[in-house]
C-alpha cells in the first residue's frame, strides 16, 4: 500500500508542477474575416506590431500560424500572417503570443545566447539549417529604445 501511495503522490506532484507552468488565463479572440492576405479578428486588444497565434486545422491536428497586428479599426484587429494560411477556418481562435492578451511584452522576441553560434535563422528566429530550434531560454526584443 505504501508503494502505491508513494507513486500516486509522485504523479500528483508532477502534475502540480506542470500546472504551475501554465498561464492562469489565456484570452483569445476569433477570426472573423479574411480579405486577401489580411485577416480580421475580434475579441483582443493588442498594439500594432504584437505577435499573435492563429489556430489552423491540418487534418486531425491543430497547428499554429504566427501573425502580426498591422492595423485596427474599433474592436477589430487586422493581422498579417507570417506563415502558410491553408487550413485556417472562419471563427478560428486567435491569441497573443505571450498568452495574456493584454498587449504587454507582446513585441517580437528573438532567441539570444551561445546556442546560436554557427546557426542559420530566419528573421523570426526559426532555424533554416535543418536543426531543431536553439536550446536557449533567453530572448531579446527585436525593437528596443536606443541607448
Burial class of 65 by CB neighbour count within 10 A (0 to 12, 13 to 18, 19+):
buried
Domain annotation covers residue 67: yes
Residue 133 maps to a domain: yes
How many Cα atoms are found within 13 Å in the side-chain-facing hemisphere of 48? 4
* Tens digit of each residue's pLDDT, the chain (147 residues): 688 888 888 988 888 888 888 777 778 999 999 998 999 999 999 998 888 999 998 888 888 999 999 999 999 999 999 988 888 999 999 999 875 454 444 467 788 888 888 888 887 778 899 888 888 778 887 777 887
Do 112 and 83 belong to one domain? no
130 pairs with which residues across the strands? none
Q: Is residue 120 part of a domain?
A: yes
Is 1 within a domain? no
| Structural domains in the chain (count) | 2
CATH of residue 73's domain is 2.40.10.170
In-domain check, residue 61:
yes
Which residue segment(s) compose the domain that 91 sits in?
Answer: 28-96
Tell me if 7 is assigned to some domain: no
Q: Is 34 in contact with 88 (CB distance < 8 Å)? A: yes
Structural contact between residues 92 and 108, judged by C-beta atoms closer than 8 angstroms: no
Q: Are residues 34 and 87 in the same domain?
A: yes
What gap in Å lies between CA 134 and CA 50, rounded to an integer? 23
User: Residue 107: its pLDDT value, please?
Assistant: 61
- What is the SS3 string spanning 39-72? EEEECCCCCCCCEEEEEEEECCEEEEEEEEEEEE
Looking at residue 29, what is its pLDDT?
95
Please tell me whether residues 38 and 91 are part of one structural domain.
yes
* 16 part of a folded domain: no
Amino acid at each position: 500500500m505504501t508503494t502505491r501511495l508513494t507513486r500516486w503522490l509522485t504523479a500528483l506532484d508532477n502534475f502540480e508542477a506542470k500546472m504551475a507552468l501554465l498561464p492562469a488565463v489565456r484570452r483569445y479572440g476569433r477570426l472573423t474575416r479574411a480579405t486577401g492576405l489580411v485577416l480580421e479578428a475580434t475579441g483582443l486588444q493588442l498594439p500594432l506590431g504584437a505577435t499573435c497565434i492563429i489556430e489552423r486545422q491540418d487534418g486531425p491536428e491543430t497547428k499554429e500560424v504566427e501573425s502580426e497586428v498591422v492595423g485596427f479599426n474599433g474592436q477589430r484587429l487586422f493581422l498579417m500572417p507570417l506563415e502558410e494560411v491553408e487550413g485556417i477556418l472562419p471563427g478560428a481562435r486567435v491569441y497573443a503570443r505571450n498568452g495574456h492578451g493584454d498587449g504587454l511584452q507582446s513585441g517580437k522576441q528573438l532567441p539570444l545566447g551561445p546556442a546560436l553560434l554557427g546557426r542559420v535563422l530566419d528573421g523570426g528566429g526559426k532555424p533554416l539549417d535543418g536543426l531543431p530550434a536553439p536550446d536557449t531560454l533567453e530572448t531579446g526584443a527585436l525593437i528596443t529604445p536606443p541607448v
